[in-house]
């Protein structure tokens, strides 16, 4: 089929490359010239495992095109996927300005009947709004059907998720349109759920709100464990054996970040305000997460007192491993709080430094490798559990830091290993190994 994808971000690019890989003729449009230039020369502006090789292959075979030209993109598409950003406004509501622009462009440029699928995460009622915008401006002889088709891919494994996702949701009341999309997705052999438009929109928000709730729940439990001398890892292991609970998504840490959970939980809370439904549970989830992101600096102050002029090595900037995305990452909160305390920060990340630099500029230093970041540091904070970070031998901290004090926000190291080294080590929801070591007379 002839498919157009609006937006060459994490969702749009992966969708474009994967649909081209399935044999469709795909045009991906974006408004950022820098991105389109890079893509036309076969380079990916974002990091996603497996993406760049798929882009190169489909670009050179002619299955995939990149453009900034809306006429070229929309005029003869059979299906248009909307994958533009839906960022949050200051009050937590969703900014739909990119959705409005794309809807208007589609209406203006289409020359055929077309199915418009919204992959962007949008509040309930938005697909009806898109339909209304297009209907009011499109040529009267053309038929356009807008479908809610929310995206569930995870950054860091987005290509894998496209081909092996848990489900595909198609929200439309139009049977023929639903079956065309079913045919499109059929080769993936992923369960397809057909719903009405509003339920499809809600499925996305409900999924993200539930996952965020799981994270805040286990983080709150981890703080409890610390206070009562239990180990959150043992607790989650025991918890996960219950089939009604399961083992997934129960890892304690310094909170969720990224471009989805923080934004989507706030959007749902905001929507609740409008329909007179205060979502107390979700409000608590967000508050717990904010607190959790502040834990490393709190622990640092409790351990070494004033952070003024202390050199801090921040290990990890991306909001999670295998991505270069730093949007709403815990690292950004940590940097802000460290700088407020007068600390001097040197950060290391295998991939996310360019994106972090766009936000943090020269307020911190950036190191090309972990050892350089740790050199002469008074304190190290682990913010992202990259393999490059979690497998660093513990004697590296011991040998490079001025004071080997490590605050591990992602519980990267087994406690029994830590106990072998003269490192002051604090983690999340696990017993204090420093006391245990003192008792054994190692310090
Ligand atoms: P992104 O910021 O990485 O990419 C959005 C792209 O849209 C940008 O490149 C931007 O230039 C482009 N754009 C803006 N206006 C445009 C226009 N008029 N025409 C063409 N392109 C335009 O965003 P993303 O992370 O890919 O997310 C996109 C949507 O998908 C959001 O609604 C997000 O909530 C949702 N989503 C994201 C993820 C994720 O993991 N990133 C997962 C599921 C759903």
Res. 437: pLDDT tops 80:
no
Answer yes or no: do 33 and 49 share one domain.
yes
Overall pTM > 0.85: yes
CATH classification at residue 43: 3.40.50.720
pLDDT at 443: 45
Answer yes or no: do 275 and 322 share one domain.
no
Would 440 be classed as within a structural domain? no
DSSP per-residue letters across 420-431? TS--EEE-SSS-
Where does a domain end: 271, 290, 309?
290
**pLDDT confidence tier of residue 442, bands split at 50, 70 and 90:** very low
- What percentage of the chain reaches a pLDDT higher than 70? 98
Res. 333: pLDDT tops 80:
yes
- Euclidean distance between CA atoms 92 and 261, whole angstroms: 12
- Euclidean distance between CA atoms 403 and 56, whole angstroms: 47
pLDDT digits (tens, 9 = 90+) for 403-434: 899 999 999 999 999 999 999 999 999 999 88
- What percentage of the chain reaches a pLDDT higher than 90? 95
Separation of 100 CA from ligand 1 center, angstroms? 14
Is 30 near ligand 1, meaning CB less than 6 Å away? yes
How is the beta sheet containing 405-408 ordered, strand by strand?
A: 365-367, 344-348, 311-315, 379-382, 405-408, 424-426
Question: Any catalytic annotation for residue 260?
Answer: yes
The two tokens of residue 212 are 């965020």
CATH classification at residue 247: 1.10.1040.10
Would 434 be classed as within a structural domain? no
Separation of 263 CA from ligand 1 center, angstroms? 13
pLDDT at 441: 52
Ligand 1 atom with the smallest distance to the CA of 70 is: 19
Cβ distance 423 to 397 under 8 Å? Answer: yes
Answer yes or no: do 22 and 97 share one domain.
yes
Answer yes or no: do 105 and 172 share one domain.
yes
pLDDT digits (tens, 9 = 90+) for 96-132: 999 999 999 999 999 999 999 999 999 999 999 999 9
Ligand 1 atom with the smallest distance to the CA of 32 is: 11
Is 102 near ligand 1, meaning CB less than 6 Å away? yes
Separation of 26 CA from ligand 1 center, angstroms? 17
Q: Which residue CA neighbors atom 10 of ligand 1 most closely?
A: 7
Name the nearest CA neighbour of 328 among 380, 290, 299.
Answer: 290
Answer yes or no: do 94 and 67 share one domain.
yes
Is 21 near ligand 1, meaning CB less than 6 Å away? no
Would 437 be classed as within a structural domain? no
pLDDT at 275: 87
- What is the tally of structural domains in the chain? 3
DSSP per-residue letters across 205-247? HHHHHHHHHHHHHHHHHHHHHHHHT--HHHHHHHHHTSTTT-S
pLDDT, the chain, mean? 96
Would 9 be classed as within a structural domain? yes
Q: Which residue CA neighbors atom 1 of ligand 1 most closely?
A: 9
Res. 440: pLDDT tops 70:
no
The two tokens of residue 13 are 């690019």
Is 260 near ligand 1, meaning CB less than 6 Å away? yes
Answer yes or no: do 143 and 260 share one domain.
no
Separation of 396 CA from ligand 1 center, angstroms? 39
Domain range enclosing 173: 2-195
SS3 347: strand
Would 374 be classed as within a structural domain? yes
Would 433 be classed as within a structural domain? no
Answer yes or no: do 274 and 390 share one domain.
no
pLDDT at 439: 47
Cβ distance 424 to 434 under 8 Å? Answer: yes
Q: Which residue CA neighbors atom 12 of ligand 1 most closely?
A: 7
pLDDT digits (tens, 9 = 90+) for 203-262: 999 999 999 999 999 999 999 999 999 999 999 999 999 999 999 999 999 999 999 999
Answer yes or no: do 413 and 367 share one domain.
yes
Ligand 1 atom with the smallest distance to the CA of 84 is: 7
Name the nearest CA neighbour of 343 among 392, 384, 380, 390.
Answer: 380
Answer yes or no: do 132 and 214 share one domain.
no
Answer yes or no: do 160 and 39 share one domain.
yes
Would 325 be classed as within a structural domain? yes
Catalytic residue among 18, 225, 260, 412: 260
Would 431 be classed as within a structural domain? no
Answer yes or no: do 274 and 366 share one domain.
no
Is 374 near ligand 1, meaning CB less than 6 Å away? no
pLDDT digits (tens, 9 = 90+) for 162-198: 999 999 999 999 999 999 999 999 999 999 999 999 9
Name the nearest CA neighbour of 171 among 118, 211, 123, 248.
Answer: 118
pLDDT digits (tens, 9 = 90+) for 130-159: 999 999 999 999 999 999 999 999 999 999
Rg (CA), the chain: 24
Answer yes or no: do 134 and 162 share one domain.
yes
Is 48 near ligand 1, meaning CB less than 6 Å away? no
Where does a domain end: 266, 290, 314?
290
Is 11 near ligand 1, meaning CB less than 6 Å away? yes
pLDDT at 274: 85
Is 12 near ligand 1, meaning CB less than 6 Å away? yes
Where does a domain end: 163, 195, 227?
195
């Amino acid at each position: 089929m002839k498919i157009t994808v609006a937006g060459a971000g994490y969702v749009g690019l992966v969708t474009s490359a994967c649909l081209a890989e399935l044999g469709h003729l795909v045009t991906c449009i974006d408004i950022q010239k820098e991105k389109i230039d890079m893509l036309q020369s076969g380079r990916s502006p974002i990091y996603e495992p497996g993406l760049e090789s798929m882009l190169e292959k489909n670009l050179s075979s002619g299955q995939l095109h990149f453009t900034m030209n809306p006429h070229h993109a929309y005029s003869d598409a059979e299906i248009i996927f909307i994958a533009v950003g839906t960022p949050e406004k200051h009050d937590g509501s969703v900014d739909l300005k990119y959705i409005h622009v794309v809807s208007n462009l589609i209406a203006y440029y289409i020359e055929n009947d077309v199915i418009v699928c919204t992959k962007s995460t949008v509040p309930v009622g938005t697909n009806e709004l898109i339909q209304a915008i297009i209907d009011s401006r499109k040529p009267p002889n053309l038929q356009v059907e807008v479908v809610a088709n929310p995206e569930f891919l995870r950054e860091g494994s987005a290509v894998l998720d496209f081909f092996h996702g848990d489900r595909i949701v198609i929200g439309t009341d139009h049977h023929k349109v639903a079956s065309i999309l079913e045919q499109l997705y059929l080769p993936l052999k992923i369960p397809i759920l057909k719903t009405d438009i509003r339920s499809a929109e809600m499925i996305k928000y409900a999924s993200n709100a539930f996952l965020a709730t799981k994270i805040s729940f286990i983080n709150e439990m981890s703080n409890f464990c610390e206070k009562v001398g239990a180990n959150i890892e043992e607790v989650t292991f025991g918890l996960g054996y219950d089939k009604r609970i399961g083992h997934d998504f129960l890892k304690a840490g310094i909170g969720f970040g990224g471009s989805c959970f923080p934004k989507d939980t706030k959007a749902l809370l905001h929507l609740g305000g409008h329909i007179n439904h205060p979502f107390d549970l979700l409000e608590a989830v967000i508050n717990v997460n904010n607190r959790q992101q502040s834990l490393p600096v709190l622990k640092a102050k409790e351990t070494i007192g004033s952070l003024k002029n202390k050199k801090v090595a921040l290990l990890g900037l991306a909001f999670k491993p295998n991505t270069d995305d730093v949007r709403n990452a815990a690292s950004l909160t940590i940097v802000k709080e460290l700088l407020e305390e007068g600390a001097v920060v040197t950060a290391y990340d295998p991939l996310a430094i360019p994106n972090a630099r766009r936000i943090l500029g020269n307020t911190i230093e950036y190191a090309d490798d972990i050892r350089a970041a740790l050199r002469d540091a008074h304190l190290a904070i682990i913010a992202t559990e990259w393999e490059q970070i979690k497998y660093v031998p513990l004697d590296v901290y011991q040998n490079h830091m001025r004071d080997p004090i490590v605050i591990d926000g992602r519980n990267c190291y087994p406690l029994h290993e830590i106990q072998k080294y003269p490192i002051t080590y604090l983690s999340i929801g696990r017993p204090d190994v420093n006391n245990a070591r003192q008792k054994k007379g190692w310090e």
